[in-house]
Structure 1
Amino acid sequence: MTFQEWKVNLAEWLLLKVKYPSEFLMGTPGLKRFDQYNGKKKIILTLIPSHDNLGDHAIALASRTFIENEFPGFEVIEIGINDIYKHAKALRRVRHPEDMVFIIGGGNMGDLYRNEEWTRRFIIKTFKQYKIVQLPATAHFSKTPYGQKELKRAKKIYNAHPRLLLMARDETTYQLMKRHFADKTILKQPDMVLYLKKEKQGERDGILVCLRDDKESFLKKEERKALLKAVTDEYGEVRTFTTTIGKRVSSVSREMELNKLWDRLRGAEVVVTDRLHGMIFCAITGTPCVVIRSFDHKVLEGFNWLKDIPSMKLVEKPGTAEVLGAIKELIKSDASHENAPTRDHYFTDLKRKILGDAL
């Protein structure tokens, strides 16, 4: 560890102690770690990411914000994806009859992201006495022998839990859940990040681009390069951004890192992206956005929640001409977010639905 990294870690440690004193018990090992919660109603928010993807950290922030706003009578305990294994026993030891476990959503249900899916199953098996709420997720089980074996294991574990509430953030996932987890309560809800509202008026200038270069990308490497060149030729210097920032993000630093990115988006005339959360970040910041599909249904169906926003435009067949045409249309129309759906439109009944069979 370098001296600079040591200073960053120390700063985060001190901030965490100040921000969450009730959750930060130095020198309280093992089973006594959560004793101060004994006799109190709690919501355990878990599967919190440890990687550098700001989309997932925005989900974690939005999920905590939702719980704090909608369930003020409950204490909130955040547990990271890698920490739930060592803290599960201590958490069960201080269980209150009304305690619930909330698992953050995202695109990691299925065989694409093994660590997240296996940890989810551990949570479902370990907290069998609790109401468990899986917040809005996208599921993808591949048609490979491995993918189908993982689906079979997921069915066995999910269906064995007596009070598991599942939420799908797209129609394909909703139908998959209805088909394979038929006796569970299943809701269709948008991504939790839409619970946040970060709009702020300001001067906008230039084009911002965020394109995937991983296994979820619809565009090939040559197509991405050609698209960037075409946008540059048409509009001059094109700035790029990514939602994977290449450094550790903690529960303390996540809001700072997210605000830095959201401020950049607010300064753009148009954003071009094939990332689900690139699109959603534009929605919550009021930024005009050209949306390019991903390799699966995630972005296409995620856009269905936003299709009534005039300044969001989907390009299903993302050729260079089509993308340039969409950018030009948004600039020419001076589209705004004035008639965009509100937080209440998406989430007004969610608390009632969660509590419907919680107790």
Structure 2
Amino acid sequence: MDTPINGNLGDQALAMAGLHVLAQERPSSSLLEIQNYQVRSSLRFLHDNLKPGTPIFWNGGGNIGSLYPYEEHNRWESFKAFKESPIVVFPQSVHFSSDLKGQRMLKSSVRNYSLKKELTVFLREEKSFNFFRKNYPEVESYLAPDTVFLLDEYVSKLLKKSERIGVLFLARNDIERNPQFNAASIAEVIDKAGFQTEVADTYLGEEFVGSLNREALLWKLWNKMATKQVIVTDRLHGMIFAYLTRTPAVVLANNNWKIESTYQTWLKDCNFIHFLSKYNQKMILDSVQRLSNVQPEPVNIQINFDQFFKKLRQV
């Protein structure tokens, strides 16, 4: 449930990875994909037509919290609609604002999650996991990497090999953007240092993306990234895509903890992914120059999915 239709290729990769892992771990099951705009309208139909006990799998991402209330409210409604079905929430990040509105929503969220029996929530980085364990003690929860990491072997095997030239910026321009990061001005500095630069994003705008064109658009981006010497990004999935394509990356903090915590939890020992929590143009340029000469050595992230795989097979 809750697969995206927007042009955010990070969200689309989560859907792709989620569907792949379900097909792999539950080969005898029939899968029905419910896109996010269909969730509310489909609840009654699904409630009336699914066999009691049919497992529900909720797409992963970074939308538990007050930052994306529509998605959080949809989850609450699904908990109420499927009281007799186990629900597994794929790895998520959590963020509630510290203001009164955010704290009220946190209180409501804890109540809705705690009332649902047979609910399992996976958190994709340690800060969210610790926050969830503290605030939702009655809910079964586990730490597991972002599901896009599950595409590692698939992407690395099929990726087109080509000469790497230049630096690609994948810069966000939304509510999670860090205003300190001005991709165009930093690109000018790096361009003057002798690197070809290109500024883009993992978000394609309002283009409709679904099951028919999802993988083609992702492969277009991944093959493009594989032609670059270095990626500079403030997007979490920009960082993960760089890892999948074995492209050295300078990763910059956004306005919440999910990028830094994901890096510290899974990628801090990776030699070709470098995170900067505070930065200026010189620091970014220095990191680009250093990483342009690095031979990527992947780390073993897959061993951290054992509990996730076990739960998918159990329910």
Instruction: Name the TM-score class by shorter chain.
Output: over 0.9
Q: Are the aligned partners of 2:25 and 2:313 in contact in 1 as well (CA < 8 Å)?
A: no
Q: Distance in 2 between matches of 1:217 and 1:335?
A: 30
Q: Are the aligned partners of 1:205 and 1:269 in contact in 2 as well (CA < 8 Å)?
A: yes
SS in 1 for 2:33: strand
SS in 2 for 1:159: helix
SS in 1 for 2:34: strand
Alignment of 1:151 with 2:106, yes or no, is yes
SS in 1 for 2:2: strand
SS in 2 for 1:47: coil
For residues 12-32 of structure 1, the C-alpha deviation after alignment (integer angstroms, 9 at most, x for no partner) is xxxxxxxxxxxxxxxxxxxxx
Q: Are the aligned partners of 2:22 and 2:312 in contact in 1 as well (CA < 8 Å)?
A: no
For residues 128-185 of structure 1, the C-alpha deviation after alignment (integer angstroms, 9 at most, x for no partner) is 1110001100111101111111111111111000111011111221122112210111
Q: Distance in 2 between matches of 1:282 and 1:142?
A: 29
- Residue identity in the other structure for 2:4: P
- RMSD, aligned CA: 1.7
Q: Are the aligned partners of 1:134 and 1:167 in contact in 2 as well (CA < 8 Å)?
A: yes
Q: Paired residue for 1:189, among 116, 135, 144? A: 144
- Residue identity in the other structure for 2:309: K
Q: Are the aligned partners of 1:207 and 1:235 in contact in 2 as well (CA < 8 Å)?
A: no
Alignment of 1:317 with 2:250, yes or no, is no
Q: Distance in 1 between matches of 2:3 and 2:20?
A: 14
For residues 228-255 of structure 1, the C-alpha deviation after alignment (integer angstroms, 9 at most, x for no partner) is 2211211343112211102111121111
Match of 1:84 in 2: 39
Structure 2's unaligned 5+ residue stretches are none
For residues 59-102 of structure 1, the C-alpha deviation after alignment (integer angstroms, 9 at most, x for no partner) is 00000001000111211110011212222222233333552111
For residues 277-331 of structure 1, the C-alpha deviation after alignment (integer angstroms, 9 at most, x for no partner) is 0000011111111111111111101112122222111112121111111111112
Match of 1:348 in 2: 306
Larger Rg: 1
Match of 1:141 in 2: 96
SS in 2 for 1:282: helix
Q: Are the aligned partners of 1:309 and 1:341 in contact in 2 as well (CA < 8 Å)?
A: no
Match of 1:262 in 2: 222
What pairs up with 1:220-299 in 2 under 5 angstroms? 220=180, 223-246=182-205, 247-299=207-259
Q: Are the aligned partners of 2:165 and 2:196 in contact in 1 as well (CA < 8 Å)?
A: no
Tell me the number of residue pairs that the alignment of Structure 1 and Structure 2 aligns.
Answer: 308
Q: Paired residue for 2:77, among 122, 135, 138? A: 122
Q: Distance in 1 between matches of 2:185 and 2:217?
A: 30
Q: Distance in 1 between matches of 2:49 and 2:112?
A: 24
Q: Distance in 2 between matches of 1:232 and 1:321?
A: 13
Q: Are the aligned partners of 1:292 and 1:314 in contact in 2 as well (CA < 8 Å)?
A: yes
Q: Distance in 1 between matches of 2:299 and 2:127?
A: 24
Identity %: 29
Alignment of 1:209 with 2:209, yes or no, is no
Alignment of 1:306 with 2:281, yes or no, is no
Q: Distance in 1 between matches of 2:216 and 2:144?
A: 27
SS in 1 for 2:296: coil
- Residue identity in the other structure for 2:47: R
Q: Distance in 1 between matches of 2:36 and 2:53?
A: 23
SS in 1 for 2:32: strand
Structure 1's unaligned 5+ residue stretches are 1-45
SS in 2 for 1:77: coil
Q: Are the aligned partners of 1:269 and 1:287 in contact in 2 as well (CA < 8 Å)?
A: yes
Match of 1:103 in 2: 58
- Residue identity in the other structure for 1:107: G
What pairs up with 1:170-185 in 2 under 5 angstroms? 170-185=125-140
Q: Are the aligned partners of 2:187 and 2:198 in contact in 1 as well (CA < 8 Å)?
A: no
- Residue identity in the other structure for 1:251: S
- Tell me: higher relative CO, structure 1 or 2? Use CA pairs within 8 A at least 6 residues apart: 2
SS in 1 for 2:267: coil
CA change 1:106–1:157 in 2 (3 A) is: same
Q: Distance in 2 between matches of 1:59 and 1:134?
A: 12
